[in-house]
């Protein structure tokens, strides 16, 4: 969320209109839920068209332009990214899809190419993984953020402690016939974070196509003070956005994931 976009919202032009559920998940006992993905793109309108075709709905909170999916908001900033998700700490993101075959057919007719039926190379090199899940209420919802670090267990432990996340395991999809791979994971309401091993330290997300991930925090100012008391150094300390109920803060995790904390990001109901 570097600076608010001033482009006006435009009418939804996707091939199908999704049913969008609650804006964000209810927070965990630490006051944390998934918030947003902030993307840097050289073509804001083309990127906006991509995300609405995928199933997002444009909404607005004051001056903030958002694209809403169940469980997450997508935010867009105009700019030249230094690279896509591959090679950065956040390797890819994932969505659950109720009817994968039907959705893929519609997306491909809308100029979104899906590789092997489960991976999309999105705008500016953002890798998006799809998982079929007939149990979800709407056609698509947020699933996971995949991190690669040299110390996945340490990374998991840090996210458990910092965000009150719950420890989990995740079976990662592999090619037919290949053995299943299980990795450590952590869940906060609205998303699962998975931690893969990287032999060399990936680059920071900051400046990449996926510039940062965001968590929505209940009681953000107190939460930031708690993190500071635990040794977290903020890149941009807590502040209230002028003429808005939204509050923000930024810091970088020990492995290079740039993180924004927000409060009241979702438009008022």
Tell me if 85 is assigned to some domain.
yes
* 209 lies in some domain: yes
Does residue 180 form part of some domain? yes
| pTM of the predicted model over 0.85 | yes
Q: Would 165 be classed as within a structural domain? A: yes
Per the domain annotation, does 1 fall within a domain?
no
Nearest alpha carbon to residue 53 among 24, 17, 77 = 17
Residue 7 has a pLDDT of: 30
Q: What is the predicted pLDDT for the residue at 108?
A: 87
DSSP string across 77-137 = EES--S--STTBSEEEEEEEESSHHHHHHHHHHTT--EETTTEEE-GGG-EEEEEE-TTSS
Give the pair of three-digit tokens for residue 136.
Answer: 């979800």
Q: Which positions of the chain have pLDDT values less than 70? A: 1-22, 173-177
CA distances from 204 to 66, 89, 90, 215, 258 (A): 24, 6, 8, 18, 7
pLDDT at 223: 98
A 10 A CB-CB count for 118 gives 16
**Which pLDDT score is estimated for 174?**
65
Q: What pLDDT score was predicted for residue 173?
A: 65
What DSSP designation does 206 have?
Answer: T
Query: Domain with 240 in it: what CATH number?
Result: 3.10.180.10
Domain boundaries, position 97:
32-263
Residue 269 lies in a domain: no
**Does any domain span residue 72?**
yes
170's CB contacts (< 8 A; 6+ apart) are 144, 182, 183, 184, 185, 192, 194
The count of domains in the chain is 1
Is 10 part of a structural domain of the chain? no
């Amino acid at each position: 969320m570097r600076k608010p976009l001033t482009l006006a919202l435009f009418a939804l032009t996707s091939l199908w209109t999704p049913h969008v559920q609650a804006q964000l998940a209810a927070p965990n006992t630490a006051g944390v839920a998934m918030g947003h993905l902030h993307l840097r793109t050289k073509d804001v309108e083309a990127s906006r068209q991509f995300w609405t075709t995928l199933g997002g709905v444009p909404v607005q909170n004051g001056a903030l332009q958002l694209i809403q999916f169940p469980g997450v908001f997508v935010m867009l900033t105009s700019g030249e990214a230094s690279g896509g998700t591959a090679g950065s700490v956040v390797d890819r993101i994932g969505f659950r899809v109720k009817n994968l075959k039907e959705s893929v057919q519609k997306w491909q007719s809308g100029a979104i190419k899906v590789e092997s039926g489960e991976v999309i190379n999105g705008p500016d090199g953002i890798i998006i993984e799809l998982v079929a899940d007939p149990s979800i209420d709407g056609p698509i919802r947020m699933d996971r953020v995949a991190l690669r670090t040299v110390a996945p267990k340490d990374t998991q432990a840090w996210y458990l402690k910092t965000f009150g996340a719950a420890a989990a395991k995740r079976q990662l999809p592999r090619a037919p016939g290949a053995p299943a791979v299980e990795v450590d994971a952590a869940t906060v309401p609205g998303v699962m974070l998975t931690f893969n091993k990287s032999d060399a330290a990936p680059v920071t997300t900051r400046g990449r196509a996926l510039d940062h991930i965001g968590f929505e925090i209940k009681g953000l100012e107190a939460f930031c003070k708690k993190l500071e008391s635990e040794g977290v150094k903020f890149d941009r300390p807590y502040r209230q956005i002028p003429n808005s109920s939204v509050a923000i803060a930024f810091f970088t995790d020990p492995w290079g994931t740039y993180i924004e904390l927000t409060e009241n990001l979702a438009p008022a109901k």
